[in-house]
Structure 1
């Protein structure tokens, strides 16, 4: 097949392009800007566009399909040309479904934890030599790409994102997968630029549950009351498997999971990660992995990239980087580090970077999110607020929203970095939470402090 990618440089898009090239397809693509690591990875496979920009002449009738990324605009000249020629145009999730119509589709969704749960499942399957197709939202140890597609594998494991499918398809991605086996980890309002009310956001999960193939299954976190209500009210003829956080303990900085064979030490920690583990176990068992084989494999799981990722450690000091940005993720991550590193000073730094987090009204959702931190720091860029077309956010609003009078707030990246690099890190656990990079924080320089 001859396939052209519009906006090939995206994290998801370039991984799909690499997967299809590996499968033997002829791939071309365009983008107006491509950052690392996408740029180098595409270049290594001969897929990096010769020049950046949009070139309608690349769109020919001979193309079997065009895949449209979210980065493109609805009036993109290549998209317009494809529409004029009547070519088949797929969104990213639509094409993944097309590639998996004859497979058993396992879809992992939820407002938080879906990347970690998907990563856990893939780790366990790889540990036991079970080959599956997959798409996951983070780079994993032992995996070349975030997307893998074949003709032969029976299962495909898909991380199910609730964000929009493409500039011309406003449906959430996970509505398009039609799972045979599904999991939902929880519901916490997010993406308010797309889902302006909590009720509207919850509705997307109801639609997802109803999209599960009849006779299929939904595994769900029963500790989330909103999610529990959604599952129990669904009239879809599917099997329903609730799960809860398993019993565990923390001794001398090591998390021990209670299993039928006794307490087992884990590489990961935090109640939210143990809850994720319980969900992953249910899914793996439905895919043919028995309970003890699951435990054997999960003991070696070190976490997904940027999800409570340990980036540095020294004598009585440790640093973690986490993708956490929504209120529920920030709270769970902060509490997990505090619980794991008893006696350490917890210095938690949060960058408000997304549309939702920079919205003055939505800020109220962050109440209590940093309570577990001994010292709380917030960084945000007023310029980012302007770019997103939002009303100005003040330091006072942030302090009131987080319900902390002692919070330190920075809007200048140089001042934030100066503060960070002049801190005494003795007996300190440093937690950096952001989907951005704090205005250009030099992580290598930071690691040198440890």
Structure 2
């Protein structure tokens, strides 16, 4: 099968390209920029484009599939050529469904926690050498490629994102998977550049639940009122399995899960991670993993990439980085950090980086998000606002919306870095939350 990727350098797209190459497909691709680690990983597989840019001549009539990434625009010249030739154009999730329509599809969805839950499930299955196909959006220890597609495996585990499928397919990605088994971890308004109202956002999850196949299974977080409401309103038939935060205690800085088979020491911390773990346990149970086997495996789970991930610093200081940027994720991460390091001075840095987080309307959601930290810092780039063609935001507005008068605010990367360099990282503990990089800040030094 001959496939071509438009925007092959994306974190998800390049993994799919590698998976198809491993499957024996003929794979080509293009992009206008390819960064690490995508560049090296594509190069190692012999599918890195010779040069960046868009080349319509790459699109030929003998192609079986053109896979269009969200990074590309509707006027992309390669896309135009594919349309002209009448080729089959797939979005990333649409192609995944085509590859898995004869398998049992397990889809993990929710505004937060889906990457971690998917990673936990894969860790447990890998630990017990249970073979499944999968797609997850974060690098996981023990896995070379985060997409696996085989002709043999009966199950596929998919991280289900509610964001748009492609520039020409404006459906939420998870609506294309038609799950046999699903999990819904939580609903908190996100992607407001696409979903203008909260109800519009919730509607995507209503449709997701409605897409569960007849007689399927839904594992859901019963502590989330919006999730419960969506589940109760559903009219299609499926088995419902609720879950909630399990009992635990922290002993000498280590979390111990209280279970029927005794205390289980864990390598992660935070109530939200334990809630995620409970959801993962129920999904694993539907896949034939007994509780004892689940707990045996989950003890060695150290977290998904960039999810409360400990950074190894040259000075041995304690610093964690987290992908958290949406309000609900920031609140959960700060709470977990505070619970874990009760006796230490806690520094928390948040970068407002996404379209949503820089929207004055959306800023309301961050109220008290940084409470519990001894020193709280918010960074956003005035230059980024200009690039995004957004109105300026004053530090006073940020403090008002966060409801934190002591908040330190930086709008220039050089000023942030200067402040960072005044801090002794061996004193206190540090939490860095961003989907960006704080203007190029090196967290290891």
Normalising by structure 2, we get a TM-score of: 0.99
Distance in 2, Cα, partners of 1:396 & 1:183: 40
Partner residue of 2:179? 179
Is the CA contact 1:134–1:158 (under 8 Å) kept in the aligned structure 2? yes
Partner residue of 2:14? 14
The alpha-carbon deviation at position 146 of structure 1 amounts to 1.0
Equivalent residues in 2 for 1:226-241 (5 A)? 226-241=226-241
Distance in 2, Cα, partners of 1:390 & 1:365: 19
Q: Are positions 1:79 and 2:40 aligned together?
A: no
Distance in 1, Cα, partners of 2:202 & 2:417: 38
The alpha-carbon deviation at position 262 of structure 1 amounts to 1.3
Normalising by structure 1, we get a TM-score of: 0.97
The alpha-carbon deviation at position 314 of structure 1 amounts to 8.7
Distance in 2, Cα, partners of 1:58 & 1:70: 19
The alpha-carbon deviation at position 153 of structure 1 amounts to 0.4
Is the CA contact 2:5–2:67 (under 8 Å) kept in the aligned structure 1? yes
Partner residue of 2:160? 160
Equivalent residues in 2 for 1:93-108 (5 A)? 93-108=93-108
Q: Are positions 1:62 and 2:62 aligned together?
A: yes
The alpha-carbon deviation at position 225 of structure 1 amounts to 0.2
Partner residue of 1:196? 196
Q: Are positions 1:117 and 2:122 aligned together?
A: no
Partner residue of 1:347? 347
Q: CA RMSD in A?
A: 1.1
- Gaps of at least 5 residues in structure 2 are none
The alpha-carbon deviation at position 443 of structure 1 amounts to 2.6
Is the CA contact 1:349–1:378 (under 8 Å) kept in the aligned structure 2? yes
The alpha-carbon deviation at position 158 of structure 1 amounts to 0.2
Report the count of equivalent residues.
445
Partner residue of 2:382? 382
Distance in 1, Cα, partners of 2:154 & 2:386: 48
Is the CA contact 1:220–1:243 (under 8 Å) kept in the aligned structure 2? yes
> What's the secondary structure of 2:376's corresponding residue?
strand
Q: Deviations over 1:67-90 (max 9, x none)?
A: 000111101010001001100000
The alpha-carbon deviation at position 386 of structure 1 amounts to 1.8
Partner residue of 1:448? none
The alpha-carbon deviation at position 317 of structure 1 amounts to 4.2
Partner residue of 2:428? 428
Q: Are positions 1:280 and 2:280 aligned together?
A: yes
Distance in 2, Cα, partners of 1:73 & 1:316: 44
TM superposition outliers: structure 1 runs of 4+ over 6 Å: 313-316
The alpha-carbon deviation at position 401 of structure 1 amounts to 0.8
Equivalent residues in 2 for 1:291-306 (5 A)? 291-306=291-306
- Gaps of at least 5 residues in structure 1 are 446-450
The alpha-carbon deviation at position 427 of structure 1 amounts to 4.1
